[in-house]
Amino acid sequence: MSAADAPLIEARGLGFVRGGQPILARVDFRIGAGEIVTVVGPNGSGKSSLLRLLIGAERADAGAVIRRPGLRIGYVPQRLAIDHTMPMTVNRFLALAEADAGARRAALMRVGAQGLGDRQMIDLSGGQFQRALLAQALLRRPDVLVLDEAAQGLDQPGVGRFYRLIEELRSELGCAVLMVSHDLHVVMAASDRVICLNGHVCCEGAPTVVSAAPEYRALFGLGTQGALALYRHEHDHAHGHGDGLDAGFGEVPGAAGRERAPDDAAHRGHGRQRSGA
Residue 150: pLDDT over 60: yes
Other CB atoms closer than 10 Å to residue 58's CB: what's the count? 17
Strands 193-197 and 36-40: parallel
Residue 224: pLDDT over 90: no
Question: What value, to the nearest 5°, has the Cα angle with vertex 242 and ends 238 and 245?
Answer: 125
Q: Where are the beta strands (DSSP E) in 130-256?
A: 144-148, 176-180, 193-197, 201-205
Q: Which residue from 32, 41, 6, 13 is spatially nearest to 195, judged by alpha carbons?
A: 41
Average pLDDT of the segment spanning 142-155: 86
The DSSP letter of residue 254 is T
- The percent of the chain in helix, strand and coil, each rounded to the nearest 5, is 35, 20, 45
Mean pLDDT, the chain, as a whole number? Answer: 80
| Residue 276 neighbours by CB under 8 Å, 6+ apart | 203
- Give the span between the Cα atoms of 201 and 70, in whole angstroms: 28
Q: Which residue from 33, 38, 55, 31 is spatially nearest to 207, judged by alpha carbons?
A: 38
Other CB atoms closer than 10 Å to residue 261's CB: what's the count? 10
Task: Give me the amino acid identity at 74.
Answer: G
Residue 13: pLDDT over 50: yes
Residue 212: pLDDT over 90: no
- Give the span between the Cα atoms of 201 and 179, in whole angstroms: 15
Based on C-alpha coordinates, what's the Rg of the chain? 18
pLDDT at 251: 58
pLDDT band at 130 (very low <50, low <70, confident <90, very high): confident
Phi–psi pair at 37, nearest 5 degrees: -120, 130
Top-confidence residue, 65 or 257:
65
Average pLDDT of the segment spanning 27-40: 95
- Give the span between the Cα atoms of 52 and 77, in whole angstroms: 9
Cβ(189)–Cβ(228) below 8 Å: yes
pLDDT at 223: 53
Residue 140: pLDDT over 50: yes
Residue 226: pLDDT over 50: no
Residue 57: pLDDT over 60: yes
pTM for this one? Answer: 0.78
Q: Which residue from 229, 267, 262, 231 is spatially nearest to 20, judged by alpha carbons?
A: 267
Other CB atoms closer than 10 Å to residue 124's CB: what's the count? 21
pLDDT at 46: 95
pLDDT band at 157 (very low <50, low <70, confident <90, very high): confident
Residue 169: pLDDT over 70: yes
